């Protein structure tokens, strides 16, 4: 099994920056690419802030923070990823954009480079088919917040070679994560179970079974979940949840994956959760309060 010496990450948004941080912290020279300098600087700045917070809390040595940052570089040029042994893509969930990106990478990278997509719901098989190396293509699905969540789903398509799967699995483990093997079905393991649960919580609310806060408290304290389904929906992003649900409904054609009307309206109205400051909860004050959009 050939060694992974250098890691490329494409996208320095919420997921990409977490993956780049974890990769550099695990000892890999890591280069992360964004489409422009503004987005790149925002992503790298967030990583620095995260690492500084670790030092302030006494969870990370200042020397380790500095070494991590030294291993991390940013670029706006795809060519700077040519010598990476594995490239993990974490860009917008748009199949055509991903296919174009991997088509370009396929033309420029050596045969040995493994390609991985962090897609949460698109078909890895379809993205891999845009390259001439579907045997060296996997899904590597991380969870938000990446530095904290231990799981990585390693997704094998019908075309993925065993050697590639094993390398990607070992790579995920070398990041300090716990990898699990998944088939390339929409949602893999976690979203296949989590998304219908979150959608069902919205339906339960629409049916008047409980208030937003009571349903959240119920699942938090009754099941020991770190967050109730509505707080979690706001955390994941209601735009993301809506898109994933649409894709999963399209794949399985089962009602349990269909986005409820309320979710669609919140998405359309710009209530995307924490990232827009309002979702099921309003985040403009000290503590989140249930948003007026859902109580009227």
Residue with Cβ nearer ligand 3HC (52 or 135): 52
Residue with Cβ nearer ligand 3HC (85 or 234): 234
Question: Rounded to the nearest whole angstrom, what is the least distance from the CB of residue 232 to ligand 3HC in the complex?
Answer: 6
Positions 191 through 220 that interact with ligand 3HC (CB under 6 A)? 191
Is the Cβ–Cβ distance between 87 and 115 less than 8 Å? yes
Nearest to 120 by CA among 202, 243, 229, 17: 243
141 catalytic per annotation:
yes
Positions 1 through 40 that interact with ligand 3HC (CB under 6 A)? none
186 binds ligand 3HC (CB under 6 A): no
Residue with Cβ nearer ligand 3HC (58 or 208): 58
Of 34, 89, 93, 153, catalytic: 153
Question: Rounded to the nearest whole angstrom, what is the least distance from the CB of residue 5 to ligand 3HC in the complex?
Answer: 26
59 binds ligand 3HC (CB under 6 A): yes
Of 23, 118, 121, 141, catalytic: 141
Residue with Cβ nearer ligand 3HC (6 or 17): 17
* Cα–Cα distance for residue pair 22/147, rounded to 1 Å: 6
Question: Rounded to the nearest whole angstrom, what is the least distance from the CB of residue 179 to ligand 3HC in the complex?
Answer: 15
101 binds ligand 3HC (CB under 6 A): no
185 catalytic per annotation:
no
Question: Rounded to the nearest whole angstrom, what is the least distance from the CB of residue 82 to ligand 3HC in the complex?
Answer: 29
77 catalytic per annotation:
no
272 catalytic per annotation:
no
CA atoms within 13 A on the CB side of 20: 34
Residue with Cβ nearer ligand 3HC (84 or 238): 238
CA atoms within 13 A on the CB side of 240: 23
Question: Rounded to the nearest whole angstrom, what is the least distance from the CB of residue 182 to ligand 3HC in the complex?
Answer: 12
120 binds ligand 3HC (CB under 6 A): yes
296 binds ligand 3HC (CB under 6 A): no
- Enumerate the active-site residues: 120, 141, 153, 191
Per CB under 6 A, residues contacting ligand 3HC are 50, 57, 59, 120, 143-145, 147-149, 191, 226-227, 232, 236, 240
């Amino acid at each position: 099994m050939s060694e992974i010496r250098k890691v490329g990450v494409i996208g320095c948004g919420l997921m990409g920056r977490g993956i780049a941080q974890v990769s550099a912290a695990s000892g890999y020279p890591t280069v992360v690419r964004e489409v422009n300098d503004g987005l790149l600087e925002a992503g790298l700045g967030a990583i620095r802030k995260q690492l500084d917070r670790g030092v302030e809390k006494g969870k990370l040595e200042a020397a380790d923070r500095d070494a991590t940052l030294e291993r991390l570089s940013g670029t706006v040029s795809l060519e700077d990823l040519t010598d990476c042994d594995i490239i993990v893509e974490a860009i917008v969930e748009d199949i055509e954009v991903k296919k174009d990106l991997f088509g370009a990478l396929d033309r420029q990278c050596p045969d040995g480079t493994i390609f991985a997509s962090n897609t949460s719901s698109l078909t890895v098989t379809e993205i891999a088919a845009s390259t001439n190396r579907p045997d060296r293509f996997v899904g590597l699905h991380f969870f938000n917040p990446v530095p904290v969540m231990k799981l990585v789903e390693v997704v094998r398509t019908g075309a993925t070679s065993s050697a590639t799967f094993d390398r990607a699995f070992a790579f995920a483990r070398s990041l300090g994560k716990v990898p699990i093997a998944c088939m390339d079905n929409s949602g893999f393991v976690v979203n296949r179970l989590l998304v219908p649960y979150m959608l069902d919580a919205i339906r339960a609310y629409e049916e008047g079974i409980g208030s937003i806060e009571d349903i959240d408290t119920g699942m938090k304290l009754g099941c020991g979940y770190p967050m109730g389904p509505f707080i979690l929906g706001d955390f994941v992003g209601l735009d993301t949840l809506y898109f994933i649900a649409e894709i999963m409904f399209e794949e399985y054609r089962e009602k349990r994956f269909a986005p409820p009307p309320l979710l669609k309206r919140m998405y359309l109205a710009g209530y995307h959760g924490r990232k827009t400051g309002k979702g099921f909860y309003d985040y403009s004050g000290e503590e989140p309060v249930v948003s007026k959009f859902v109580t009227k």
